[in-house]
Amino acid sequence: MSDFRKAALDYHAKPTPGKIGIQITKPAETVKDLALAYSPGVAEPVREIAEDIDNVYKYTGKGNLVAVITNGTAILGLGNLGPMASKPVMEGKALLFKRFANLDSIDIEVTHRTTEDFINTVANIADTFGGINLEDIKSPECFEIEKELIKRCNIPVFHDDQHGTAIVTAAGLLNALEIQGKDIRKVTIVCMGAGAAAIACMELLIKCGAKREYIYMLDTKGVIHTRREDLNKYKTLFANNTDKRTLEDALDGADVFIGVSGPDALPPKALKLMAANPVIFACSNPDPEIKPELAHAERTDLIMATGRSDYPNQVNNVLCFPFIFRGALDVRASVINDEMKIAAVHAIRAIAKEPVPAEVLQAAQVAKLEFGAEYIIPKPMDPRLLPRVAKAVADAAVASGVARIPMPKHYMES
């Protein structure tokens, strides 16, 4: 057993199994405390909520509670291993919500027979929570699940594998293109992968200015084009009217490669086909589509990002999802809409252009970070992410009409 594997297993097992627990937030030491916490005192908030359902936010923890929900059909890069195998990942997500945004979170793993069963299960328990983070659900079912739950639930529902990945990718790519002197409205993008993350990334990039006709998406059968008859309705949105068929065909003259597929899918020699000053996002985890060392050996003019923390420019969902939920819950948003996602993109990318605090340098274990080829997105430990991204999201929720309460005072004062 490797040292790292043993350390990971020990971390999850000792001294108490798992990564999250329950914390009492009120005194519970005396008979009077217990009388207030439960019978007979608990009857008073019950009556208040029955009279006005919005009082549930005043007297319970609903407004600060996120459910992390999965069926375990697409766990990380490990595949369909079932609900119980997904529990360590969902507990980890709950840990990140608490660590980065002080949001309470509970993991829920659902066993079901049909997609409709899953949707009904989640919809029926949704009112317990302030928001729902869907996670590790395979494509294409994930699209229908999220769509139906957004329709049926009166709280924000957000599939992080889709939209979290898309938001951080868009923030990093816009900055990389700026450094490379390129305009997102004019660049050609090759997307290796056609699952949930790939489709969400491309859709958000289009909302940020990319042109659909300049995007070449590939699945395991090659370029997705208009003459293919094996495409589902989600892939069809990216069917390009082109004679290009292979990855090499698509890369010829391309400005951007975005990989959300699998390890070593991008041959180093193929980089030579790309336009000057290309941008490579190889986001497969733990092994990217191309290792940065190999990419830089082929091209000295590229900007490179991966999903790994041991290379510069980590595309990491933790840069957005805790803060998006923080902002959404703080104004009781009914949904997380495109305006809120785009606000998060611009808030994240702006932080990377500013001087980096000493505490971030210390956490990153580097002497210096400056906006440029090896620093296009903030580090996860950057304390500016919480106030800045959350406020941008809350502002966008209010401006777009999906907030139920005004901006909190602490946002107005910041």
Tens of each residue's pLDDT in the chain, 414 residues: 689 899 999 999 999 999 999 999 999 999 999 999 999 999 999 999 999 999 999 999 999 999 999 999 988 878 899 999 999 999 999 999 999 999 999 999 999 999 999 999 999 999 999 999 999 999 899 999 999 999 999 999 999 989 999 999 999 999 999 999 999 999 999 999 999 899 999 999 999 999 999 999 999 999 999 999 999 999 999 999 999 999 999 999 999 999 999 899 999 999 999 999 999 999 988 889 999 999 999 999 999 999 988 899 999 999 999 999 999 999 999 999 999 999 999 999 999 999 999 999 998 888 899 999 999 999 999 999 999 999 999 999 999 999 999 988 887 766
Cross-strand partners of 157? 132
Residue 118 is predicted with a pLDDT of: 97
Clarify whether 87 is annotated catalytic.
Answer: no
Q: How far apart are CA 134 and CA 161, in angstroms?
A: 8
**Of the listed 19, 62, 87, 93, which one is catalytic?**
93
How far, CA to CA in Å, does 11 sit from each of 6, 7, 17, 19? 8, 6, 9, 9
Let me know: does 340 contact 397? Beta carbons within 8 Å.
yes
**CA–centroid distance for 256 within its chain:** 21
Cβ pair 209, 240 in contact under 8 A: no
Considering 38, 186, 269, 353, which one is annotated as catalytic?
38
* Annotation marks residue 38 as catalytic: yes
Please name which of 329, 320, 331, 389 lies closest in space to residue 157, comparing C-alpha atoms: 329
The pLDDT of residue 411: 78
User: Which one, of 45, 67, 48, 55, lies nearest residue 155 by Cα?
Assistant: 67
Query: Which sign, positive or negative, has the C-alpha torsion 270, 275, 280, 282?
Result: negative
| Ordered domains of the chain (ranges, CATH) | 3-161 (3.40.50.10380), 163-306 (3.40.50.720), 317-413 (no CATH)
